[in-house]
Structure 1
Amino acid sequence: MYKNLSITVVIPCLNEEQGIEKVLSRMPEFVDEVIVVDNGSTDRTADVARSFGAQVIREGVRGYGRSYKKGFSLATGDVIVTLDGDHSYPPDAISYLLEAYLHLEADFLNASRFPVRDRRAMSFKHKFGNLVLSVVMSLLFFRWIHDSQSGMWVFSRKILKDMILESDGMAFSEEIKIEALLHPTARFEEIAIMYTSRLGEIKLNPWRDGFQNLFFLLKKRFARR
């Protein structure tokens, strides 16, 4: 519990044996529930997660968004916190983010990776791609977003029921932010965090995923609700 709020952390994983150990070893004690969604790992990701007391759920259909939707469906906390299993997002920043979430009276808090202070954490190509996608999203939805592709969020579980979440892939990251912005009563806020270089293999395909996310933004903007 954190200030009378139960906290669930949801972590999607695909072959993150090295990173998940680092993440879970730094998980704050006040977190009530940790759900690791194993998206078909062939290494010891699931075993390592269980050894730290995490609830491991297997999602057989590959996809970043698919994993998150599975994890969210099983979350029981008042507040859901997300981060990746590769140790690029700081688990010990969760208390800092929760304080900001409460202070700003937010319903959805996005953890922006910018400015990137660790030079090894993100290549110029990835920075440029993120900038393009964030600018396009900001223009389409009339709200400046510093980091449309961030994978660390803090939000009230109750707003999920009003969200239309369709993406099973990497576009899920921008989609959930769009849904928070379009939510009739939710307050969207953003705050910067420290982002570091990942552990393990890189699974993002910058050109393919970048163009798919750009197309998804346009589709989401002009789709009927």
Structure 2
Amino acid sequence: MSEFRHVEDLSVNSTQSDLQGSKREHWIKRNSYYYRILVNFLRYNIPANQSILEIGCGTGYVLNQLQPSLGVGIDTTAELIRYGQQKYPKLDLRTADAKELDLNGLVFDFILISDTIGYFDDVQQVFKQLHSVCHADTRIIITYRNQLWTPLLSAAEAIGLKMPEHRQNWLDRGDIENLLDVTGFDVVREGRKFLMPRYIPLLSGLLNKYIANLPLFNRLGLCTFIVARSMQANKSVDLPSVSVIVPARNEKGNIETIVQRLPAMGSHTELIFVEGNSTDDTWSEIQRVTAEYTPEYDIKCVQQEGKGKGDAVRKGFGMATGDILMILDADMTVPPEDLPKFYEAIANGKGEYINGTRLVYPMEKEAMRTLNLIGNKFFSIAFSWLLNQRIKDTLCGTKVLTRANYQRLSANRAYFGDFDPFGDFDLIFGSAKLNLKFVEIPIRYRARTYGETNISRFKHGWLLLKMTFFALNKIKFI
């Protein structure tokens, strides 16, 4: 990385660099608790060994804490950069202006703008420059202070509890989101963190981990964050192929109809049936249909060794060869003809995790029982708050994401563990952890024409509630 470093301006006294850098590190140490909880939050969003660009890196302290595989930091203060180059030699720190990014064609997995956006003299121009260092999956993470804290922070600065700083831009969340939208970025999620930037035993942990994440209290959070993605980054112009996975248990009467009604999508459509411990003749019917229709359609079939829909979905995803992975329940309560809507949303980049919602259009009689409907609406509210993204119907069986993102999700599955027999929450939580953009597609939910539901309202409802509380400590209370 040395070939990218700026040649030092010998006219600047190295003693001055040491002094400026030491002052910055001194204030970081004095506010070590705040930086510790900030870094912990950033680590949740940015796994180790990723390529990271930090705009306004200072000495590179935060960037170094994130353990990047490639860590590039830029700042306009040459003294801080020189100090950081000496202290963090593994980082590539440069004196540069973010309004004129020239990084020799480098692109990054993450771009971090932490507590520095208030100093930019042209925020819009900085955002425009970021596209040149983004790929399709790059995430931009912006943190900045809540303006409600300005009087308190000014008082802390006056009595020497906070590092002195120049006057900052008056930017609120709406201003930043507007500028992101104007410059071609899409906000994935946003929120606020931290009520206590100083360490007080027991109290600080209680306030920052729990209270600060609750509704109403969250409005007072010191640190506002926004996660965004570039809508101009290079995306494939080729039509992606599709794999449709159909978990099937006791669905003999629907198998042939699924094949007949499944529309062709993209450059190629692959259909994979995964049969799971049926007590009727579902497996023999799948084999018959596969043999009969294979000359005309690309159909594969397999029996799962484990139990549950989640295990069946993983089995099917593991066999899939398509660029896009879709789940279609074999009960056909979601019509196969609706799948092209999901395809268009993900192929056009409108979303990265596409979820069906049954709670928009009127349902056919008996399609969903009253208790199931109430439960779905409860989980809709709970999960929209939990994930900081809108999700209306957590339990709709039709879910779509790219195979590349599923592989990333699968590689990080250990963070949540193997806890979900349904597979819905494994995909929802995993996609949220990757900061994928959620989009919902309304579908018309049909009544069953064959068989009975495999869901037990009370047993499985209690399990879903337990998983929701489990996710709180993995996603929200961090």
- TM-score, length-normalised on structure 2? 0.44
User: Per-residue CA shift, 1:34-92, capped at 9, x if unaligned?
Assistant: 11111112322223223143311111321111111111111110001111001111101
- Equivalent of 2:276 in 31, 39, 43: 39
Q: Which of 429, 434, 438 is the aligned partner of 1:188? A: 438
Q: Tell me if 1:86 matches 2:338.
A: no
Segments of 5+ residues of structure 1 without an aligned counterpart are none
Provide the C-alpha distance between the structure 1 equivalents of 2:465 and 2:241, rounded to a whole number of angstroms.
35
> In structure 1, what is the equivalent of residue 16 of structure 2?
none
Map 1:1-225; keep pairs closer than 5 Å: 4-30=239-265, 32-50=269-287, 51=289, 52-53=293-294, 54-117=299-362, 118-163=364-409, 164=413, 166-170=418-422, 172-184=423-435, 186-198=436-448, 199-223=450-474
Amino acid at match of 1:6: S
2: CA distance, partners of 1:82 / 1:213: 20
Cα 1:74–1:18 change in 2 (3 A) is same
Structure 1 residues 57, 167: CA separation in 2 closer, same or farther (over 3 Å shift)?
farther
CA distance in 1, matches of 2:260, 2:285: 10
State the AA in 2 paired with 1:83. L
Q: How big is the shift at 1:129?
A: 0.9
Q: What SS does the corresponding residue of 1:12 show, helix, strand or coil?
A: strand
Cα pair 2:341 2:441 within 8 Å, conserved: no
Query: Equivalents in 1 of 2:348, 2:322: separation in Å?
Result: 19
SS in 1 for 2:301: strand
Aligned residue pairs total: 221
- Displacement of 1:180: 1.3
How far apart in 2 are the matches of 1:28 and 1:140?
35
For 2:440, give the aligned amino acid: E
Question: RMSD across aligned C-alpha pairs, in angstroms?
Answer: 2.0
Cα distance in 2 for partners of 1:113, 1:138 equals: 16
- Larger deviation: 43-52 or 210-219? 43-52
- Name the CA distance, whole Å, in 2 between partners of 1:158 and 1:57: 22
Report how far residue 17 of structure 1 moved.
0.3
Q: Deviations over 1:171-221 (max 9, x none)?
A: x2133122212214x322112011101221121101111110111121123
Q: Secondary structure at the match of 1:223?
A: helix
Separation of aligned partners in 2, 1:100 and 1:29: 16
CA deviation after TM superposition for structure 1 residue 8, in Å: 0.3
Q: Judge conservation of contact 1:116–1:194 (CA < 8 Å) in 2.
A: yes
Q: Distance in 2 between matches of 1:25 and 1:167?
A: 35
Structure 1 distance, partners of 2:358, 2:441, is 9
Q: Give yes or no for contact 1:151–1:173 (8 Å, CA) kept in 2.
A: yes
Query: 3-state DSSP class of the match of 2:333?
Result: coil
Structure 1 segments, 4+ long, off by >4 Å, are none
2:256, 2:444 → 1: CA distance? Answer: 19
Does structure 2 conserve the Cα–Cα contact (< 8 Å) formed by 1:97 and 1:154? yes
1: CA distance between counterparts of 2:275 and 2:281?
10
Structure 2 stretches lacking a partner, 5+ long: 1-237
- Quick check: which has more Rg, 1 or 2? 2
Tell me if structure 1 keeps the 8 A contact 2:325–2:403: yes
